[in-house]
Structure 1
Amino acid sequence: MAGPGRDDDGAPGGGVGRRAVLPLLAGLLLAPGCTAPARAPAGAGASGAPGPSDAPDAPDASGDPAADGIRRTLDRRAAALLDRDAAGHLAAFDPAARAAARAEFGNLADVPLDSWAYHLTEVRRRSGGRAAVRAELRYGLTGHDAAPVVTPRALELTERAGRWYVRADRPGDGAGAQLWEQGAVRAVRGAHGLVLGTGPDEARLRDVAAAADRAVPAVEAAWPGRWARRVLVLVAEDLTAVGGLLGAPAAGYRGIAAVTTGGTGRRGVAPADRIVVNPEAYGQLSAHGREIVLTHETTHVATRTATSAATPSWLSEGFADWVAYRGTELTAGQIAPELQRAVRRGEVPGALPADADFAFGADPDLLARAYEGGRLACDLIAAEWGEERLTAFYRAVGAHPGRPGAVRKAARDVLSTTPERLTERWRDHLRRSLR
């Protein structure tokens, strides 16, 4: 996630944010989450979120004769997983580790693996025929990943009679756990996506799949052009498991209904996006609220290849909220209650929301106003310039080579205006729609 700041457009700088559960209409709780912090080499540069394979290749381990033997062991393990060969998988493990390996193999039974491979980056020999290995696991799911997930792993192996065996395989530094490391994975397939989850509540997975099936057509109607038109949703068992998947303290996701992971900036290729659902916050939502959450997150999946470091959070998050609420009969005040209260107090914001306003840990009212303000900015563009111009503006900002000048050039080329005039029209729009 890019840091806060202000570019030479007079527009706020920054990256992507997330949204907490916010009470809206009586009994309706809406909580669109957003893109998880990026972690190298994953979903984007610092969080444990899975990322696409366009990350630079890590150096391969070399210069150690043990590396070839370790690589052969890991290749055999990978082939056995893809072939669903339980005996071959266990044969790659040290006897002391086979109980855990057997459980992991069972946990993966419902996961549609398309690829699985290890890329060694470091091998450190230790006494007693042991080795500590750092590697990248690169895996893809059939029908869902245009590029493999890349996630760092820390492995321990032992050598016996000239052959290496895996003793442990854990997430690498800063990386999150994989869903199958948290328990047996259940798969529910919908018309427009795949939901993978752990825990006993299959009805919850079916509910998520149904919401995703409604979200994808809604996003397709608002975001024309090429994208996968399907989503992959991970449903963790609880808040602690959410933190484990994202490689971050669970407390930071309390009240966040969903988070989208994945890399940005690889134009024209959709990376390995996952929508991670926090069942505790998601479960507080009405059916309408759950649908809005999944539509918001699906918008992030659809727009991923058009989103880059040049895209300010008010645009990426505001557009996702605009799509999520598009076509509803809710008034601007019902969708933006915090901002409405501020406007009625005479506190009309002087500038579009800064990226820092979307950060985890931000004041809840400030966070709400940031999302509401971003959505109303997109609402203004759609109302005054048209929906086609709004999507063209989004693409033009993301296509710029960097943050400086991105909003200014897109505003000039697509909207025939300037960031300053756009901001003033946005402030007038707030006064009119939220009075």
Structure 2
Amino acid sequence: MLPAHRLVRALPLLLCVLLTGCAARPADTAGPDVRRAVADWSRTPPAALSGLPLDDWAYEVTSVRRDGVRALVRARLRYRLAGYDTAPGGSERELALERDGGGSDGGGGAWSVRSDRPAPDALPELWDQGPVSVVRGAHSLVLGGSGQSREALEAIAAEADRAVPAASAAWPRPWAGRVVVLVPASLDRMAQLLGRPADAYRGMGAVTTGRVGAGPGPADRVVINPEGYAELGGDGRRIILTHEVTHVATRAATSALTPLWLSEGFADWAAYRGTSTTPAQGAPELARAVRRGEVPGELPRAEDFAFGGDPQALARSYEGAWLACRLIAERWGEAALVGLYERAAKEPLATALPQSVGVDPAGLTKDWREALREELGQGLR
């Protein structure tokens, strides 16, 4: 994730009314007719998804509750974006069904789905927020939420198409070489997709979601904050998307062991790589602190990257992480930085650093602090 100030999913759902004073039948006692209706529903993805390259669209029923002519189904939706997801992703859904032409005892006509929405404890999909627009780029698939103009989505696709080769140049390891970008209608809609308060993403341009480690799975999604992204200039948008696409590229080589300063710093290093951006230009908050004599005593910790606190302190953490990765690449070589990233996902940093760079954490910290004083200690007022 990268703060925007650094450069700075619905089918229209019918209301499902459940009878609350009646005794519902236990799970899975409604017979095959309800499940058959869900299977029929599975054969046709929602109209809101027209144009998406969908594959493996299916609902797996996990529970059924019936009250007369109504039924409530819990199901796991599995689907795959063809050409992007190497395995289906999942979404917990709640489907409300009614029996057409039946009597109050539930006998009679056929069951049909009346609504399909996220389960109470599940996150929504982009299409739950309205019709989805689709723009395909050379290396990207951009999915826009309700209200996003095609012009805006095409511009994001063009920027993502530039970010993919930049990330590949910095990360010379096999990866898919393509990216899925979600552009919800607003910051609030973005927060709904991610399951956190909007304030957690205010001031950010984009975030990347996905699971770390190797193996087949759904592709990472880069989720744009349309409000923060709109505040960026051309350079800022390039930096933001290259940073996030680099997270996608390095995901298979990232684990819970990977230090956040290395993950975030590498993504920034990839974004600034090949540009003329100086340390003072790319790290203004940290530069101001260094000139006040406030040189950080250690590399940024994981908690230093938490959002919702002091934005200047957060910026200094990202900037310091970038400059640590920049130092490694310039002093020991880009291959050493890439090798460190790979090793740090498999073994502690105290082991990975000497093996890939030749110094221990204390030595790297000392060299990093000296570089901060030399490169940021003067030039800005």
- Find the partner of 2:274 among 284, 309, 327: 327
The structure whose Rg is larger is: 2
Counterpart of 1:152 in structure 2: which amino acid?
A: E
Note closer, same or farther for the CA distance 1:68–1:425 as it changes in structure 2 (3 Å cut).
farther
Separation in 2 of the partners of 1:288 and 1:360?
23
User: Is this contact kept in 1: 2:62–2:74, CA < 8 A?
Assistant: yes
Separation in 2 of the partners of 1:342 and 1:392?
31
Summarize the alignment of residues 155-166 of structure 1 with structure 2, pairs less than 5 Å apart: 155-159=95-99, 160=102, 161=108, 163-166=110-113
Summarize the alignment of residues 54-133 of structure 1 with structure 2, pairs less than 5 Å apart: 64-66=28-30, 68-81=32-45, 105-123=46-64, 125-133=65-73
Equivalent pairs, count: 352
Counterpart of 2:71 in structure 1: which amino acid?
A: A
Tell me, yes or no, if structure 1 residue 359 matches structure 2 residue 306: yes
Tell me what 1:144 maps to: 84
User: Is this contact kept in 1: 2:123–2:195, CA < 8 A?
Assistant: yes
Note closer, same or farther for the CA distance 1:107–1:345 as it changes in structure 2 (3 Å cut).
same
Tell me what 2:202 maps to: 254
* TM-score calculated relative to the size of structure 1: 0.77
User: Is this contact kept in 1: 2:97–2:114, CA < 8 A?
Assistant: yes
After TM superposition, give the deviation of residue 157 of structure 1 in Å: 2.7
Tell me what 1:220 maps to: 168
Note closer, same or farther for the CA distance 1:218–1:323 as it changes in structure 2 (3 Å cut).
same
Deviations 1:202-244 (A, max 9, x none): 1111110110111011011110121110111111111121112
User: Is this contact kept in 2: 1:219–1:298, CA < 8 A?
Assistant: yes
After TM superposition, give the deviation of residue 327 of structure 1 in Å: 0.8
Note closer, same or farther for the CA distance 1:117–1:345 as it changes in structure 2 (3 Å cut).
same
Output the aligned Cα RMSD. 1.9
Separation in 1 of the partners of 2:222 and 2:346?
24
Separation in 1 of the partners of 2:333 and 2:253?
19
Tell me what 1:409 maps to: 351
Aligned-pair identity in percent equals 53
Tell me what 1:230 maps to: 178
Counterpart of 1:133 in structure 2: which amino acid?
A: V
Counterpart of 1:19 in structure 2: which amino acid?
A: L
Tell me what 1:289 maps to: 236
| Unmatched segments (≥5 aa) in structure 2 | 9-25, 103-107
Tell me what 2:129 maps to: 182
> RCO higher in 1 or 2 (8 Å CA, sep ≥ 6)?
1
- Find the partner of 1:202 among 150, 154, 163: 150
After TM superposition, give the deviation of residue 127 of structure 1 in Å: 2.5
Separation in 2 of the partners of 1:334 and 1:261?
29
User: Is this contact kept in 2: 1:19–1:358, CA < 8 A?
Assistant: no
